[in-house]
A and B are shown apart, each in its own frame.
Chain A
Amino acid sequence: MKKSHIFIIVIIAAAVAIILSTAEDASTYVSFSEAYQMASAGNRKPIHVVGELKKDESGNVVGIEAGEDKVSFSFIMIDDNGKEQKVFYNQPMPQDFTRSEKVVVIGTYMGENFYAEKILLKCPSKYQENTVNV
């Protein structure tokens, strides 16, 4: 066997190892009910949930509460299956939060509440409007 063959085998082995370990660490996009089941089954791995903020008829975001310490807050999010869930976030409200069109929260359930470690916002709102300000 030539040395270059051994080298190629080592490289391929490393690539496979990378894929396997990545699969291990990969998170998933789930709904709140699936996330709840996973957490009840003892799976504490953070997962992604995609959804929107709860809004009233006139389009104002409802359900945002500042935490007692003023540097955390909670909000109500509706996932793609329509399930409402109160989400806690241990940091101040991100800029543009209420303007966001879509929210991705990354975190886990603890009891009945979802704790987000990270929030991704999609806010094309201001920059992708369908009406003109006259």
Chain B
Amino acid sequence: MHYFIGNLGHFFVITSFVAAIATAFSYFKATTSSDLLNKNGWLVNGRAGFYLHAFAVLGIVISLFLIIYNHYFEYHYAYSYSDKKLPAHYLFSTFWNGQEGSFLLWMFWHAVLGIVLIHTNKFWEAPVMTVFAAVQAFLASMILGVVLPVIDFKIGSSPFILLRDALPDPIFTVQPDFIPADGQGLNPLLQNYWMVIHPPTLFLGFAATLVPFSFCLAGLWLKKYREWVRPALPWSLVAGAVLGLGILMGGYWAYETLNFGGYWNWDPVENAVYVPWLVLIASIHTMITYKNSETALKASIILVISVFILILYSTFLTRSGVLGDASVHSFTDLGLSGQLLLYMFFFLVVAVALAAVRWKEIPSSEKESSLYSREFWIFVGASVLCLMGFQVLVPTSFPVLNKVVQFFGGVSNLAPPADQVGFYSRFPLQPGHPVACAGGGYHNSRKGV
């Protein structure tokens, strides 16, 4: 039995969680304190905290990978998702096959981006990193695997749980030190080249959407309503490109391994990540409009916040088990639904409350944009993109709607449209025309200017 590596890993998980909370608090104080000396002290604290957090995340990643790589089948994660026959590159896929590992991947990218931000943007460091560290604390809590005493409430699901604690097999009462000779192996569908590179790309895209969201909240917080757009825009572009690439890779994987004969099957899991991407693209356009002509600031704020909230919503959809009957490839329920909801509603409430409090102060242009201006047509295009996202979001949310109605005692058994491909492609084809027209209008008005 190799207890040390698992204990070390779990220690790193707890360190990363505590460090993230401490970092969030330090950066919060650094943002709010007016005394310069005080401010610098808190900044140093926050920076040290985030480095400790990033180090702990790296420690978790290395511990988990060593467990998988060395085939320590006394651990549930290695036993459930790998075996000795698995080629080395698929051991990486094992790493993000379980929910815990994919949370870890997400945290890892946030930690990397956080360090990049600390070093590239001194002015925005404190408020932006407050949001970052808060997000990291929520993510770390998902893999915490700690049972609260007295109330017996389990927080998170740790990837370092021993097999004997995870499975109620009678052999463990007879022989507590039993180690299976081989693991269960990786799901054959995931033994595919794309599954090695698709998840890291997708999660880098997920992680990148946090940056514009953080800048937007920071801008509202510091009342620097205009200034946040400039540093946020490049990150939105990165997020749009990387997330788009990740979605395409997922489509290619589905084409090769799932035999539905297409790149895209409008499965709820696919839709859940497609909607934020559409809104992200819309937000890029309104932000560029704002940078060039001081219009659409409020729209940018709403869209940037929506993107991140939709990312959290898609996380909830795919990981809470709510899609059970509707999707072929959502994760199974780990009992994290409550925590996932808390994660989503925390940032939803904070962002909406902050925007609502500051709404009146946000500058907006007095003059109406003309029907022949390119701003107007870009805005029309962005709206159509959002409507397209909305059209996909409604049926994808049916399982949630059913749950909510049932929670309040009603009866609701809505299912997604039976002919998914027909339903979804009929509508986006129609908005496709307005988008093309908006593009044309933009082009013409440009010539006119």
**A interface with B by C-beta (< 8 Å):** 2-4, 7, 11, 14-15, 18-19, 21-22, 25-30, 45-48, 50, 94-95, 102, 104, 106-107, 117-118, 120-122, 124, 126-134
The contact size tier of chain B is: 35 or more
Residue of B167, B325, B391 touching A50 (CB-CB under 8 A): B325
B-side contacts of A2, CB under 8 Å:
368
B163, B182, B383, B414: the one within 8 Å of A28 (CB) = B414
User: Would B171 and A134 count as touching, CB distance under 8 A?
Assistant: yes
Query: Is there contact, CB below 8 Å, between A27 and B418?
Result: yes
Q: Are B332 and A128 in contact (CB under 8 A)?
A: yes
Say yes or no: A95-B418 contact (C-beta < 8 A), given A2-B368, A11-B387, A19-B394: no
With an 8 A cutoff between CB atoms, is B193 at the interface?
no
| 5 residue pairs A–B, Cβ–Cβ below 8 Å | A11-B383, A50-B325, A131-B167, A132-B169, A134-B171
B417 near A26: Cβ-Cβ < 8 Å: yes
Given A28-B414, A106-B418, decide whether A18 and B387 contact each other with a Cβ distance below 8 A.
Answer: yes
**Given A3-B371, A18-B427, A134-B171, also A26-B416 (CB < 8 A):** yes
Q: Check B413–A18 contact: CB distance below 8 A.
A: no
Q: Footprint of A on B, CB under 8 Å?
A: 79-81, 163, 167-169, 171, 178, 180, 182, 184, 187, 259, 324-328, 332, 368, 371, 379, 383, 387, 390-391, 394-395, 398, 413-419, 423, 427
Residues in A neighbouring B394, C-beta threshold 8 A: 18-19, 22
Residue of A with least CB distance to B98:
A127
Q: Is A133's CB under 8 angstroms from B328's CB?
A: no
**Which residue of A3, A21, A47, A130 is within 8 Å of B415 (Cβ)?**
A47
With known contacts A126-B184, A128-B332, A132-B169, A29–B368 Cβ distance under 8 A: no
Q: Cβ of A126: which chain B residues have Cβ within 8 Å of it?
A: 184, 187
Chain B residue at minimum C-beta to C-beta distance from A126:
B184
A15, A117, A130, A134: the one contacting B418 at CB < 8 Å is A117
Least CB separation from B258: chain A residue: A95
